[in-house]
Amino acid sequence: MNVFVQPTGRRIEPFGDAPGESLVMNRPLSAWQADAFAAAGLRRLDTLTPPCLVVPDTLFTTGGALRAFVDGAAARDAVFVLKDSVHGRVTTPVQPGVTRVDAGWRFDTVRWVSGRDEAPVEVVFDPDEQIVKFTLPPQFTGGREPEVSFPRHPFMTLHHWVHILWANQVAGSIELRATPKWRFILTGLWAALRARSLNPWRVLGKANKVGRRCNIHPTAVVEGSTLGDDVNIGPFARVLFSRLGDGVTLMPGANVEASTLGDRAFVSQYTTLRFCVLYPEAVASQYLMQQCVLGRGAMTTGAAFSIDINFDGNIRVPLDGALHDTGTNFLGSAFGHGARMGTGHWLASGRMIPNGAFVIRDPAEVIQRVPADLPTDRPVYLSNGHLVPLGAARKAP
């Protein structure tokens, strides 16, 4: 069987990358697609030649999903429908070419072409998800019960930085769900033996995959995570359910949870990353970042905050000249490749900082001039970049 990858011309904002260059768990999307085609027994075509499977270059999925669709098409003209699911509700927003139907979501760009020009049948695919529910204060969730989906076969297209975020969050479930139960049991038993305890946190601490030449301080805590080579983790830092690329550095007190960090990414002391994606060589120095994507070489600094919750409703993001509902009120921001954010900023949720942008605070709000004869008998204040004694005339801008 053959597959043709349809070029979309899409560039993922704010990075300007082609979809195949987008990183999912530190691997380009094109590599995930090649693995899926191989697993499904599909040979890639250079031109659309029926009969064949047609998919967009934005597709992120597994070989199992593609094979099931091809089998369901049974050589008929067909279009893919993702079954109604938590996975679908979370990942289908902001995706052009995805239409809500009774059975779920129809992906108009994923189809089997027979060459007979027939009306396509809809083939409904079940992502085989496992749902984990957890409790958060209703002030955060708007009264909705939070659910996390672990699909065996995720299926989505990547058009926007939010899709890079969401793809990284579901990609781990591919490996997780593909692992046989007997291997889970053996891994758990071996971890418990090494931990000399049945305490789940102690067991998690022995269930890591650690690369070569890693330097992990004895006071650091690493649980259920994968570390590349030459990773440095400082005193009292913590890594939970995350993937760290080669050469990543975490300074003392840094906290990384459910995040993916690219090669040589850097996390400053006491910075918390939760549900984030950092491209290679990104630097995170913000006190708390949640649901954010930092591009290659991007940098955020202390005393800057990316707002990650909207109490009034779902967050909307721009794509193709229009605002699209993300389906969630919990979302951070994206920082383009090489972008730099100075201190003293509040960035609204769902926003994008372009590649190479250098954002600083208003100079009038920064102390720039400190006179040598400042009085000590009364307070001084900031006025247009100058320290001025209280009661003195204001300096002109």
Cα separation, 223 vs 262, in Å, equals 18
The 10 Å Cβ neighbour count of residue 100 is 11
**Structure confidence at residue 169 (pLDDT):** 95
Residue 21 neighbours by CB under 8 Å, 6+ apart: 28, 29, 30
User: Which of 355, 353, 307 lies closest to 334, judged by CA?
Assistant: 353
**Structure confidence at residue 396 (pLDDT):** 54
What is the layout of strands, in order, in the sheet containing 272-274? 221-223, 238-240, 255-257, 272-274, 288-290
**Structure confidence at residue 345 (pLDDT):** 82
**Structure confidence at residue 312 (pLDDT):** 83
The 10 Å Cβ neighbour count of residue 316 is 17
Q: Which residue spans of the chain are classified as CATH 3.90.550?
A: 2-170
Cα separation, 166 vs 158, in Å, equals 9
Cα separation, 140 vs 197, in Å, equals 35
Residue 352 vs residues 165, 209, 238, 289: alpha-carbon distances, Å? 13, 33, 28, 14
The yes or no reply on domain 2-170 and CATH 2.50.20 is no
**Structure confidence at residue 308 (pLDDT):** 84
**Structure confidence at residue 48 (pLDDT):** 96
- The residues facing 245 across adjacent strands are none
Are 114 and 71 a contacting pair, CB within 8 Å?
Answer: no
The 10 Å Cβ neighbour count of residue 336 is 24
Are 221 and 206 a contacting pair, CB within 8 Å?
Answer: no
- 143 residue type, one letter: G
| Residue segments in the chain with a per-residue pLDDT below the cut of 70 | 136, 138-144, 182, 184-185, 303-304, 392-397
Q: Is the pTM of this model over 0.85?
A: yes
- The residues facing 346 across adjacent strands are 305
- 52 residue type, one letter: C
Burial environment of residue 89 by CB neighbours within 10 A (0 to 12, 13 to 18, 19 or more): middle
Q: Which residue spans of the chain are classified as CATH 2.160.10.10?
A: 200-359
Tell me if the bond preceding 51 is cis, omega within 30° of 0.
yes
H-helix or E-strand spanning residue 32? helix 29-40
Q: pLDDT (tens digit, 9 = 90+) per residue, 68-112? A: 999 999 999 999 999 999 999 999 999 999 999 999 999 999 999
**Structure confidence at residue 141 (pLDDT):** 61
Question: What fold characterizes domain 200-359?
Answer: UDP N-Acetylglucosamine Acyltransferase; domain 1 (2.160.10)
Residue 382 vs residues 297, 365, 377, 378: alpha-carbon distances, Å? 33, 7, 17, 14
Token pair listed for 247: 């050469």
User: Which of 190, 239, 188, 237 lies closest to 211, judged by CA?
Assistant: 239
Residue 27 neighbours by CB under 8 Å, 6+ apart: none
Cα separation, 139 vs 143, in Å, equals 7
- DSSP-assigned letters across all residues of 341-381: E-SS-EEPTT-EEPTT-EE---GGGS--B--TT--SSS-EE
User: Which of 267, 246, 66 lies closest to 154, judged by CA?
Assistant: 66
**Structure confidence at residue 189 (pLDDT):** 74
Burial environment of residue 26 by CB neighbours within 10 A (0 to 12, 13 to 18, 19 or more): buried
The 10 Å Cβ neighbour count of residue 372 is 4
* Phi-psi sector, 88: left (phi>0), alpha (psi -120 to 50), beta: alpha
- 392 residue type, one letter: A
